[in-house]
Amino acid sequence: MLIYLDANVVQYCADESEFVFGNTHSARTNDPRLRKELTAIRRLVDLEQLGDWEFAAPLHLLAELRAGNPTVSQQETYRVLEDAWDVSRWTGNVPPTDETISGIEASLSTLKLRHAADRRHLAEALALGASWFLTNDREVIRKTGGRVRSMRVCRPTESLEEISIGLFLK
C-alpha cells in the first residue's frame, strides 16, 4: 500500500519532526486541530513498522517542498522521507512519465481545484498507484468527496482507523 502525503502534511510533519518520530511526548503547536493531525501521523509512522506500506516522496513533491526556504529541521525531515522512498519497492517500478501524470491531471480538471499543485499531487499519487492521499486541504477533500478513482482522499485522522483495521485483519 502506498500513502501519498500532500505537501502541507509533509511540512507540518517537518516542523514537528521530533514529535512525529516519537522523540518527544508533545507537539509544540498550540493549534488543537493540527495537534490532532500530527498525532495521527505519529501513529501511522509507528504502525508503518508493522504494516506493509510506504510513504511516497516523488521528485516533484520533494522539489516543491525544497522550493521555499526550508529550515534545517525541515530539510532533514525531507531527506528522511526521500531516503525511505529511495529504498522502497515502489521506486523499483518504472516511474510514471510526465505525459502520464499530465493526462491524469487533465482528467482531474472537472474537480475545479484552485491550485495547480493540488491537481499535480493528486495526479502523481494516482499515477503511482497510491491507496491514500492524506491532506489537510479542505478544498481538496470536499471537491473529491473523499475519493478519486480507487484512492481515498482525507485527513490523516480520518485514515487512521481504516488503515489500522486493515493492518490487524491481515
pLDDT digits (tens, 9 = 90+) for 44-73: 888 877 777 788 999 889 999 999 889 998
C-alpha cell at 7: 505537501
In this structure, the number of other CB atoms found within 10 A of the CB of residue 50 comes to: 11
User: Are the CB atoms for 33 and 41 separated by under 8 Å?
Assistant: no
Nearest to 122 by CA among 103, 108, 110, 137: 108
The proportion of the chain whose per-residue pLDDT surpasses 70, expressed as a percent, equals 95
Calculate ∠ Cα 24-77-130, nearest 5°. 110
What's the CATH code, domain 2-168? 3.40.50.1010
Pairing verdict, β 2-5 and 132-134: parallel
- The answer to whether 167 and 36 have CB atoms below 8 angstroms apart is no
In this structure, the chain runs to a length of: 170
**In the prediction, which pLDDT does 52 show?**
73
pLDDT per residue as tens digits for the range 124-142: 999 999 999 999 999 999 9
Residue 169 in this model has a pLDDT that exceeds 80: no
Look over the chain and give the mean of its residue pLDDT values, rounded to a whole number: 90
CA 48 to chain centroid, in Å, comes to 14
Match 495537534 to its residue by C-alpha cell.
35
| pLDDT attached to residue 170 | 46
What is the band of 167 on the pLDDT scale with cuts at 50, 70, 90? low
With residue 168 as reference, give the H or E element that holds it.
helix 156-168
* Least confident among 9-23, 28-42, 79-93, 138-152: 79-93
Domain edges within the chain:
2-168
* Alpha-carbon gap, residue 97 to 167, rounded angstroms: 31
Give the cell for residue 13: 510533519
Which tens digits make up the pLDDT trace of 72-96?
989 999 999 999 888 887 766 778 8
